């Protein structure tokens, strides 16, 4: 991500649900007029559809303008260039995902038993990867930064909290890393595109893994 992200406390310091991370510039979306915010969301949704249907290579400023039924200049004014558009698209997707698991309806959001929320979290990330895998792979950081990104630490911390409730005798911190490994975009790419596994098998495998680590 291009913006500096706020710090995320280590899991052992967390006492409740993690808080929503502000991914883009703090002055960006909150200060947009309502119509400008709607136009921005429409452009990002159009870009997401293009990626899901044709891959990242299909996302050009012109293609997004056509898909959103706006002028090309509107896309350039909003995002600057293609890199800015792709960065904003990842931010937009992550914001929606965070809102869903932090405060959305159960079972992904609060209100469901922790094991159900663990299942729902992984299934949601697997399905999200299916929609934007090329984009996620393009943004995947190197090994020296991979586990330090605040967004990834937020996901890990959320799993730690749920595991502490679902499997109190387990080493929740290490187990959460193991579960996150299953959801890594690189592994999903290998299993689905190089090995030909259907997404349904990965989803069934995630549910089985959660059941095994929580002794359900």
**pLDDT tens profile 126-141:** 999 988 888 888 788 8
Q: Is 90's pLDDT higher than 90?
A: no
Q: Is 189's pLDDT higher than 60?
A: yes
When pLDDT is averaged across residues 82-100 and rounded to a whole number, the result is 89
In a domain, 3, yes or no: no
- Residue length, the chain? 216
Residues contacting 115, CB < 8 A, separation 6+: 162, 166, 210, 211, 214, 216
When pLDDT is averaged across residues 74-91 and rounded to a whole number, the result is 88
Q: Which of 85-94, 145-154, 169-178 has the highest mean pLDDT?
A: 169-178
Q: Which of 53-67, 111-125, 130-144 has the highest mean pLDDT?
A: 111-125
* pLDDT mean across residues, the chain: 85
When pLDDT is averaged across residues 180-208 and rounded to a whole number, the result is 97
In a domain, 95, yes or no: no
Cα 157 to Cα 13, 77, 160, 175: the distances in Å are 10, 37, 5, 11
pLDDT the model gives residue 52: 79
pLDDT the model gives residue 209: 97
Q: Which of 55, 90, 125 is the last residue of a domain?
A: 90
Rounded-to-integer distance, Cα 74 and Cα 30, Å:
19
Regarding whether 134 and 197 lie in a shared domain, the answer is yes
> Which letter, b or e, does each residue of 152-171 get, where b requires 16 or more Cβ atoms within 10 Å of its Cβ?
bbbbbbbbbbbbbebbeeee
For residue range 21-30, list pLDDT tens digits in order: 544 444 445 4
Regarding whether 84 and 172 lie in a shared domain, the answer is no
Domain hosting 56: range is 25-90
Regarding whether 119 and 69 lie in a shared domain, the answer is no
Regarding whether 32 and 68 lie in a shared domain, the answer is yes
Q: Which of 90, 114, 141 is the last residue of a domain?
A: 90
pLDDT the model gives residue 132: 85
Q: Is 195's pLDDT higher than 60?
A: yes
Regarding whether 121 and 171 lie in a shared domain, the answer is yes
Q: What is the pTM of this model?
A: 0.74
Q: How would you class 148 by CB atoms within 10 Å of its CB: exposed for 0-12, middle for 13-18, buried for 19 or more?
A: exposed
In a domain, 16, yes or no: no
Residue 97's pLDDT band (cuts 50, 70, 90): very high
In a domain, 216, yes or no: yes
The total of other beta-carbon atoms located within 10 Å of residue 101's CB is 23
In a domain, 149, yes or no: yes
Number of domains in the chain: 2
Q: Which of 34, 62, 90 is the last residue of a domain?
A: 90
Rounded-to-integer distance, Cα 45 and Cα 136, Å:
16
pLDDT the model gives residue 4: 37
In a domain, 199, yes or no: yes
Regarding whether 129 and 69 lie in a shared domain, the answer is no
In a domain, 153, yes or no: yes
Q: Is 2's pLDDT higher than 70?
A: no
CATH number at residue 85: 1.10.357.10
Regarding whether 144 and 213 lie in a shared domain, the answer is yes
Regarding whether 115 and 200 lie in a shared domain, the answer is yes
Cα 99 to Cα 105, 122, 189: the distances in Å are 10, 15, 25
Q: Is 9's pLDDT higher than 80?
A: no
């Amino acid at each position: 991500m291009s913006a500096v992200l706020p710090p995320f406390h280590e899991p052992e310091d967390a006492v409740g649900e993690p808080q929503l991370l502000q991914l883009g510039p703090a002055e960006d979306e909150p200060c947009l007029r309502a119509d400008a915010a709607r136009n921005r969301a429409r452009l990002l949704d159009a870009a997401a559809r293009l990626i899901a249907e044709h891959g990242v290579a299909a996302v050009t400023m012109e293609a997004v303008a056509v898909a959103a039924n706006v002028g090309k200049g509107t896309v350039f004014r909003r995002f600057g260039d293609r890199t800015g558009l792709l960065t904003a698209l990842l931010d937009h997707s992550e914001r929606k995902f965070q809102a869903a698991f932090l405060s959305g309806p159960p079972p992904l959001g609060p209100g469901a038993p922790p094991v159900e929320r663990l299942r729902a979290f992984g299934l949601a990330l697997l399905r999200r990867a299916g929609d934007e895998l090329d984009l996620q792979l393009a943004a995947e950081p190197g090994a020296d930064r991979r586990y330090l990104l605040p967004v990834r630490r937020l996901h890990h911390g959320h799993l730690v909290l749920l595991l502490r409730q679902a499997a109190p005798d387990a080493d929740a911190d290490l187990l959460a890393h193991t579960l996150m490994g299953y959801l890594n975009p690189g592994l999903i790419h290998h299993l689905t595109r190089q090995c030909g596994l259907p997404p349904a098998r990965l989803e069934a495998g995630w549910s089985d893994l959660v059941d095994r680590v929580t002794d359900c």
